[in-house]
Amino acid sequence: MTATEDPTAKARRVWEAMATRYDRDIRLFEKLQFGGGREWVCSRATGRVLEVAVGTGRNLGLYPPGVTVTGLDLSPAMLAVARRRAAELGRPVELREGDAQALPFREHSFDTVVCTLSLCAIPDHATAIGEMARVLRPGGRLLLLDHIGSRWWPVWAVQWLVDRCTVRLAGEHMTRRPAPMLAGAGLRITESEQRKLGTVERVAATKPA
């Protein structure tokens, strides 16, 4: 790594290195911090689904039977794990390498777009949100789960301190708040829940028909 490493290249390098241990490393933390979040998101998915930053495919077994899933990720190593998981589940899924900041799909291509625990680590998350909105059909739904900056200042202060390390080492942000950006992308929030002292957020938003 160099001081001028491109943020997207850095993200790819970080997730390539983490791919084989990601599921093991996150299992307990995810249960304690995000329990039920993936189920909340996936249960609301309908029709043709795009999962942005699909990672190791931890959501694949949670989608309703009637949906078709396309998963996109920056890391080939993460996608390799997701392919094995899909095969074990017997779940047909299209998995593609690509960048959330420049989605390789035409506008209005999907009924649902899902992004879980990933906007915190996408270098330009505002651009990624715009891209997700672009590929949604009118009337389609964006579903998000992530850790966010708490509005309780003592918690936010701790998150800010953690940011000093996680952003530098892995490009992961603890204090981002993506929900306010959704209106600027032409989306309307229909459901929103904050948990764990305001550090975890679940959001469902729709694109006007």
State whether residue 126 is helix, strand or coil: helix
* Res 5: pLDDT: 85
CB under 8 Å, gap of 24 or more: what pairs does 185-194 form? 185/129, 185/130, 185/132, 185/133, 186/133, 187/133, 187/136, 187/142, 190/141, 191/44, 193/40, 194/148
* Cβ–Cβ < 8 Å for 166, 173: yes
Q: Is the pLDDT of residue 84 over 50?
A: yes
Rounded to an integer, the average pLDDT of 53-67 is 97
Q: Which domains does the chain have, with CATH numbers?
A: 7-206 (3.40.50.150)
Q: How confident is the model at residue 3 (pLDDT cuts 50, 70, 90)?
A: low
* Res 75: pLDDT: 98
- pLDDT digits over 143-192, tens only? 999 999 999 999 999 999 999 999 999 999 999 999 999 999 999 999 99
Kindly list the distances between the CA atom of residue 83 and the CA atoms of 35, 45, 204, in Å, as whole numbers in the listed order. 24, 20, 27
Instruction: In whole angstroms, give the CA distance from residue 59 to residue 81.
Output: 13
Strand pairing class (48-52; 200-206) = unpaired
The full length of the chain comes to 209
- pLDDT digits over 19-48, tens only? 999 999 999 999 999 999 999 999 999 999
Q: Quote the pTM value.
A: 0.95
Q: How confident is the model at residue 4 (pLDDT cuts 50, 70, 90)?
A: confident
Rounded to an integer, the average pLDDT of 126-153 is 98
Six token digits for residue 114: 């899902």
Q: If you ran DSSP here, which 8-state letter would residue 61 be given?
A: G
Name the percent of the chain in helix, strand, coil, to the closest 5.
40, 25, 35
